[in-house]
Amino acid sequence: MTPAEPDWSGVLKSLCLVVSSALLLGGALQAGFRAVVSFAGWEREMPVMAVAAQVANPDRRFSATDVDRGALAATYTLTGEPRGTGAGTRDYEIVEDLTGRVDAPRLGGPEATALGRAIKGVVANTAFVDREEDKERREATRKALDGLPAGLSAVAAVEFAGPMTAERMIAFNREHGLCPGADTVYIYSPYRYNDSTGEPPANAIAWNRGMGYRSSGWLTYLCEGEPLPALEAFREWTRQLTSHHDRGLEQFGLDRQSLVGAAREGRVHGFVADSWKVSDLRKLLDAPEVRGVTVTGVAFDPERLRPVSGEG
């Protein structure tokens, strides 16, 4: 009996099905691997979106407490507290899926506090500001600080009369005997909003070197020289940004082009002074490089208080 001729069309279909399944499975495994690598990051580094949340919310101190990597999304939990208010800590969740979409309640920008408003008040171009009004504000701040004990701990937004490079700011620190400290946050691009265009507001771009790490306790801060390594760390972080992050950055009122541009220019428009002595803030009012100092909170906090100037 002659054996039946194989159904070659059926064999071919089966072979194609096996190959297709293998390719799909391999693609899924590869995508999963990429997701795990993306979510995991380096041992010491925070995920990109967890850092972006801090860049957009300089009115709060954050630390990473947990990263939960799921098959389709990752959840980052940050513990945050308002700077200088003693209001206590709370947890913030950031959920990022594989498409780059991000959900991050209450992290869209600075809260409606005195510090949040002061950060938004830093301007990009001081050429058209009212100099007399600035002078009146400085005098009012001077009188308020003069009435406070010099050793109190204070939080303030400090705005420069014009943007400074990292090198110029180091010279400024040395000239005035300042050692800003690990909690100082540098503002590289001010808050922008133009109601005539209909575009959404753009948050200030602010940076502290510890933002990019799960724990910044191992960092060595360079006192008056800190602006330079802070800028280098900011530039290093922006080099990680790709088009995959664009949707997520929008949730924080940020965009990749502005972040990269601010890092490239490296000009500081002002900074958030955290836990400075009142006497050190008072001294800044006499510096011609400073447009103004907006004090947003004072407290007696011996655990956080430390001298900024070299005077002790």
pLDDT in tens, 154-190: 999 999 999 999 999 999 999 999 988 888 999 999 9
In a domain? residue 167: yes
Residue 140 and residue 96 share a domain = no
Residue 69 and residue 182 share a domain = no
The pLDDT value given to residue 261: 98
Q: Is pLDDT above 60 for 310?
A: no
Residue 234 and residue 122 share a domain = yes
Structure tokens that stand for 255 in this block: 């965009």
pTM above 0.85, yes or no: no
Q: Is pLDDT above 50 for 292?
A: yes
In a domain? residue 19: no
The pLDDT value given to residue 196: 78
Give the mean model confidence (pLDDT) for residues 271-279.
92
Residue 174 and residue 83 share a domain = no
Q: Is pLDDT above 70 for 69?
A: yes
In a domain? residue 285: yes
Give the mean model confidence (pLDDT) for residues 39-55.
74
Give the mean model confidence (pLDDT) for residues 230-237.
95
Domain hosting 88: range is 48-103
Task: Select, from the ranges 67-71, 159-163, 217-221, the one with the highest average predicted confidence (pLDDT).
Answer: 159-163
Q: Are 56 and 108 in contact (CB under 8 A)?
A: yes
In a domain? residue 15: no
Residue 52 and residue 192 share a domain = no
Binning pLDDT at 50, 70 and 90, where does residue 91 land? very high
Binning pLDDT at 50, 70 and 90, where does residue 24 land? very low
Binning pLDDT at 50, 70 and 90, where does residue 213 land? confident
Residue 127 and residue 245 share a domain = yes
Residue 126 and residue 266 share a domain = yes
In a domain? residue 70: yes
Residue 207 and residue 86 share a domain = no
User: Between the CA of residue 281 and those of 122, 138, 183, 230, 251, what are the distances in Å?
Assistant: 17, 11, 15, 21, 34
Q: Is pLDDT above 70 for 218?
A: no
Residue 293 and residue 185 share a domain = yes
Binning pLDDT at 50, 70 and 90, where does residue 1 land? low
In a domain? residue 68: yes
Q: Is pLDDT above 50 for 223?
A: yes
Residue 135 and residue 268 share a domain = yes
Domain count of the fold of the chain: 2
The pLDDT value given to residue 86: 67
Residue 146 and residue 284 share a domain = yes
Give the mean model confidence (pLDDT) for residues 251-263.
97
Give the mean model confidence (pLDDT) for residues 194-204.
86
pLDDT digits 0-9 by tens, 107-148: 999 999 999 999 999 998 887 788 899 999 999 999 999 999
Residue 195 and residue 135 share a domain = yes
Q: Is pLDDT above 50 for 23?
A: no
Binning pLDDT at 50, 70 and 90, where does residue 299 land? confident
Binning pLDDT at 50, 70 and 90, where does residue 30 land? very low
Alpha-carbon gap, residue 255 to 116, rounded angstroms: 20
Which one is predicted more confidently, 187 or 153?
187
In a domain? residue 36: no
The pLDDT value given to residue 188: 98
Binning pLDDT at 50, 70 and 90, where does residue 208 land? very high
Q: Is pLDDT above 80 for 27?
A: no
In a domain? residue 252: yes
